[in-house]
Amino acid sequence: MYLFGASGHCKVIIDIIEKCNQFEINAIIDDNPKFKTIFNRLVLKVTDFKFKSEDILFITIGNNFIRKMISKKYPLRYPVLIHPNAILGCNVTIGEGSVVMAGAIINPDVIIGKHCIINSGAIIEHDCFLEDFVHLSPNSALAGNVKISEGTHVGIGACVIQGQVIGKWVTIGAGAVIIKDVPDYAVIVGNPGKIIKYNIENE
């Protein structure tokens, strides 16, 4: 198994892999390595490395857009990683390349897409649907029947009340309280959440 991205996020992923004892990490790959090793694992520059079709890869980068670009560039085998201290209810579906970190709670009938990050202590209540490349930060919370569209980042400690639809590539600020639907590309902060700008031109 190889990890792509030599960062702090990589350290957390290594810890999960070691605790699960499911894979052996061969090396860490990075576009611009700042370290020679992380936790005694060799860090290689991507230009000095060639993947094989049978390789197993996990993208250890927090930025949602970059994870999407790397996953498209390298169509390899991507596992699902779940910390042993996470709690998963029945009928939970998790897509390839996604990670569920320590203390996260995912309740029944939740669907999580590919290459998502469910960070430490995040809570996802029943019947939520997360599309691909979503990142729920530590201690964020989704009430029941919430939809989070592709590429959205929910900041640390933010929460979304039940039944809301959050658009694609939205940024929800730390501690924000979302009480109504959010359009695509919005940047929203505060309690209650207010849109302050758009990441790119709203479609």
Is residue 148 in some structural domain? yes
47 neighbors 32 (Cβ within 8 angstroms):
no
Is residue 135 in some structural domain? yes
136: tokens are 């729920």
Are residue 172 and residue 149 in the same domain, yes or no?
yes
39: CATH: 3.40.50.20
Is residue 129 in some structural domain? yes
Query: Which residue did the predictor score with more confidence, 152 or 41?
Result: 152
Are residue 156 and residue 191 in the same domain, yes or no?
yes
Which residues lie closer than 8 Å to 15 by C-beta, 6 or more apart? none
Is residue 154 in some structural domain? yes
Distance CA 113, CA 128 (A): 11
Instruction: Give the model's confidence band at 201: pLDDT under 50 very low, under 70 low, under 90 confident, else very high.
Output: low
Marked catalytic residue, from 115, 126, 135, 153: 126
What was the pLDDT predicted at 116?
A: 98
Secondary structure class of 112 (helix, strand, coil): strand
Last residue of a domain, one of 48, 73, 98: 73
Are residue 111 and residue 163 in the same domain, yes or no?
yes
64 neighbors 153 (Cβ within 8 angstroms):
yes
Is residue 41 in some structural domain? yes
Is residue 91 in some structural domain? yes
Range(s) of the domain holding residue 45? 2-73
Strands 111-112 and 93-94: parallel
Are residue 36 and residue 97 in the same domain, yes or no?
no
What was the pLDDT predicted at 202?
A: 43
Last residue of a domain, one of 45, 73, 101: 73
C-alpha distance from residue 170 to each of 28, 86, 142 (Å): 29, 26, 15
pLDDT digits (tens, 9 = 90+) for 75-116: 999 999 999 999 999 999 999 999 999 999 999 999 999 999
Last residue of a domain, one of 73, 103, 131: 73
| pTM, rounded to two decimals | 0.95
Are residue 37 and residue 136 in the same domain, yes or no?
no
Is residue 203 in some structural domain? no
CA-closest candidate to residue 81, choices 68, 90, 94: 94
Are residue 36 and residue 129 in the same domain, yes or no?
no
Are residue 36 and residue 130 in the same domain, yes or no?
no
- How many structural domains does the chain have? 2
Place of tokens 């997360």: 130
Are residue 93 and residue 153 in the same domain, yes or no?
yes
pLDDT digits (tens, 9 = 90+) for 158-185: 999 999 999 999 999 999 999 999 999 9
126 annotated active-site: yes
Are residue 8 and residue 86 in the same domain, yes or no?
no
Are residue 94 and residue 192 in the same domain, yes or no?
yes
Are residue 44 and residue 128 in the same domain, yes or no?
no
